[in-house]
Structure 1
Amino acid sequence: MEMNTQTRINVNDVAPEIAAVRLLNGEAEFDADRLTVEKVVVQASSGAVYARHARFQIRYTDRDVCVTCTRGSVEVRLGALGTAIYAGQQLTFNDNMLGTPALADTSSVTAWKRRMLIFSQASLAEVVQEVNRYRSGKLILRGERLAKQKVQASFSLDRLEDVVALIRDVYGARTTSLPGGIVIFQQA
């Protein structure tokens, strides 16, 4: 298991042949073949992911859980509902809904492992929310029009100040820098 930033888990002692984990929040990658157990079970929200010979990412932020299979297949269950996803697929679920499998951009999903963030037509609000997980201080957007701008970009986790330059230079936002790494952006 490899955990991303701001990730919390509980390890459950179910049985010697089962690796059982509850993802409380954040993101992690599990490689069932690297473990000395028969099955990996990861619970998040009200659902669970079951894997035997697979590698998968699971991300739990806010209320939604996104599962991306990068090798093999996994079963995702939510109550009595369940579905399988295969390498190159992902699905999202929350307490009330189990999504359908869809194609995944696995390179973007696993980019954090290469110390990168990749955004493809994400709203600026989504970009700022994700960057704030990694950056000391906080980026704050003011203005709905600015927050809805679409972003196609990639950033190194070692150079997150490039995000500040992008928002200022490409989207024309006025910036106010405050102590503690806080930067406020307003639509110009």
Structure 2
Amino acid sequence: MLVVDDEHDVADTQALKLGDRYETAVAYSGQAALDTAGPEFDAVLLDRRMPDVHGDEVLSRLRERGYDGTVIMLTAVGADLNILEMPFDDYLQKPVDQSTLLSTLDQHLDRADGDDRLDEYFRISSKLSVLEREKSTSQLEGSTEYTELKERAKKLEWVLQAETDDFEELKRTHQSISRN
């Protein structure tokens, strides 16, 4: 697990919260994250607002390099419609309590070799949930990307309900974590 935050105290605190369950490393800048992150890390907790290399850029460059581990944006930055195109797995707004952080990580890492459609569904659901808390209905309905993503989520949900025995339980767990 790589924790990335330019605020040393925040990064160290997050690493401490995770230390009992996960082996963690810390990077205190976007450039340090790019220099450090690799396939040996199952997950990256990534702050968005960093002075040297913005977290959005770090995310983009990691994915371009082929990093396919879990990336969770852990940030104080409110969500905007631009997150629809960002290739992260989940979006948590600070402050995040330890149980939410651990539950979110467990959920993503336990499914690491699972159904790609299920992973896609939960990535989309996370984005939709964050945006629905942050934006008005009129702002969302005016976005073609939001509407298309919502339709994609519905289609995936229909397929997964038919093909995944415990889909409803997985969905409830994800929703309870996303609300926190």
- Compute the TM-score of the two structures, normalised by the length of structure 1: 0.29
Structure with the largest fraction of strand: 1
Bigger RCO (CA 8 Å, 6+ sep): 2
**Computing the radius of gyration over CA atoms, which structure comes out larger, 1 or 2?**
1
Structure with the largest fraction of helix: 2
- Compute the TM-score of the two structures, normalised by the length of structure 2: 0.30
